[in-house]
A and B are shown apart, each in its own frame.
Chain A
Amino acid sequence: MQLPKRAGCTALMFLLVGFAHAQPKFLKKAANAANNAINNAVNTAVNGNSNNNNTGNDAQQAGQNSSSTRSGRPSNRGGQGLVSTPPDVAANLTASEDAFKKSSYGEARYALQQAMLGVELQIGHGILKMLPEQIAGMPKEAEADQVTSTGWGWAGLTIRREYQKDDKAMDVTIANNSVMLNALNMYLASGMYNQSTGGQQNWKQTKLKNNKAVIEYSDGSGYKLSVPLGQTTLLLLEGVNFATEQEFMNAANTIDVDKIKELLNEK
């Protein structure tokens, strides 16, 4: 009984090995066939004919097929996306008050959270507006501007702007009112940082317009400057391909830190 079983196992192994060898050839053939079909379809759509003498209807069909998945379900070819609708602060405050009067505290809370979200987004956009249009010859990447707020107190408000020209770039991140950030701020502002002097100096304490800061450098990511502002805000500047620390600091100094503090009500 053992012999047929062993023979069965051997046969199965051969089958598997054979399939494994055959599979790349089969996949290659399938890929070639698919490529040919797509090329024909594209040629037909662009030139109005093809090597295979497809009609206009065929071309249209092929064009539709090229944006479909293999199962025939169409894939999205793009759209305008969602319309940006920041919450209406005044309306949400009224909604919150009304719900509160009816003792619907869950609803009151939701409306209040929306109002907070609206205010935070406005604060964020106000800060983006006052940031320079360009830093050290690098223009802002307008489409990369970002204001993130969850309405949850712990996650806080994050504002981000990117500047870039050729291979030189600077990212500005302002994080405000995050509970986790408070601990980091305390650590940074405490002056308890040590500095090493042996070999390459990778980070040290510095100042940005009279605000205590920590500057770091690594060959992989470039310069990074962390500046705690007041009690709950951190300004983070990251520079790539700056030749020297001084060049990076000059760029950092073009940011109006006092205005950021004023807008975020930081002392």
Chain B
Amino acid sequence: MKSLYCFLILLAAAASGNAQEFTKQMTTARTAYSSGKLEEARFAMQQMMQELDIISGKELIGLLPAKLDTMSANTSADAVSGTSGFAGVVVHREYGKAKPDGDVPAQVEIITNSPLISGLNAMLSLPLLGNSPDQKVIKISGYKALVTKQHSDGETPEFEVQLPLNSTLITLKAPGYSQEKIIALANTLPIAEIAKRVQ
């Protein structure tokens, strides 16, 4: 519990830094624009966009549950990274203790504001794709999602759930979980709240 508080305090401090940077770049953009330095104004806006994406990413991490099934969040592995406007910002959280080979029992990844994801989402929404024997279209908290059987390791198949929301993609991976169990896990994620924030 103590470590969770520490994490939240650190998160708030980091967000405050980003907020200051956003305000600073806003002033730069305004000054540059009013003096006709359009390219400088544009650059400052790009910086603001980046800050905004990082702030939203951190906010999304704060929305994710502290526990998934019986697994606690490994907050030290939390990450918000990427480039806004191209590949998108990746929000990453792991659950449970990592195995010696580095595998993580469960992880949630949210890629936001990626134009590439928009294309992927369009494909995911095609009903034909859901007809593959390794894929199935399901609903998580009322939103359409795709559960996919990954490469089988021996006799244990692995599943992942992908849920597209416009230019955002939420992915849940839990290698040790069956199809039904991973769907149940995905249903514990605050999808509606995430959707509200990313739209």
Contact = CB atoms under 8 A, between A and B. Distances in A.
Contact of A115 (B43, B45, B85): B45
Interface stretch (B49-57, B134-142, B153-161, B178-186): B49-57
B39 A105 contact: no
Nearest to B198: A106
B39 A116 contact: no
B162 interface: no
14 contacts: A93-B30, A96-B26, A105-B59, A106-B56, A106-B198, A109-B49, A109-B113, A116-B46, A119-B41, A119-B42, A123-B38, A153-B49, A153-B83, A179-B85
Given A119-B41, A153-B85, A154-B85, A109 B52 contact: yes
A105 B56 contact: yes
Given A100-B22, A154-B115, A116 B49 contact: yes
Nearest to A153: B85
A230 B110 CA distance: 34
Contacts of A60: none
Interface string A256-267: 000000011100
A113 B39 CA distance: 15
A162 B3 CA distance: 63
Nearest to A92: B45
Given A105-B56, A106-B197, A154-B86, A113 B38 contact: no
A179 B82 CA distance: 14
Interface string B41-80: 1110110110011011001000000000000000000000
Contacts of A115: 29, 45
Nearest to A105: B56
B39 A106 contact: no
Interface string A140-183: 00000000000011110000000000000000000000010000
B135 to A, nearest CB: 28
B42 A105 contact: no
Contacts of A116: 42, 45-46, 49
Interface in A102-128: 103, 105-106, 108-109, 112-113, 115-116, 119-120, 122-123, 126
A86 to B, nearest CB: 12
B46 A153 contact: yes
Interface in B1-45: 19, 22, 26, 29-30, 33-34, 38-43, 45
A123 B30 contact: no
B26 A123 contact: no
B107 interface: no
A90 interface: yes
B152 interface: no
Nearest to B57: A105
A106 B199 contact: yes
Given A90-B33, A263-B38, 5 more contacts: A93-B33, A109-B52, A112-B52, A126-B38, A265-B40
Contacts of B43: 265
A108 B85 CA distance: 15
Contacts of A90: 30, 33-34
The winner among B26, B43, B48, B56 for most chain A CB atoms within 10 A is: B48
A103 B34 CA distance: 26
Contact of B56 (A109, A126, A155): A109
A223 to B, nearest CB: 30
B84 interface: yes
Nearest to B85: A153
A216 interface: no
B198 A113 contact: no
B7 to A, nearest CB: 19
Contacts of B199: 106
A154 B115 CA distance: 8
B56 A265 contact: no
A89 interface: yes
A97 interface: yes
Given A106-B199, A123-B38, A113 B115 contact: no
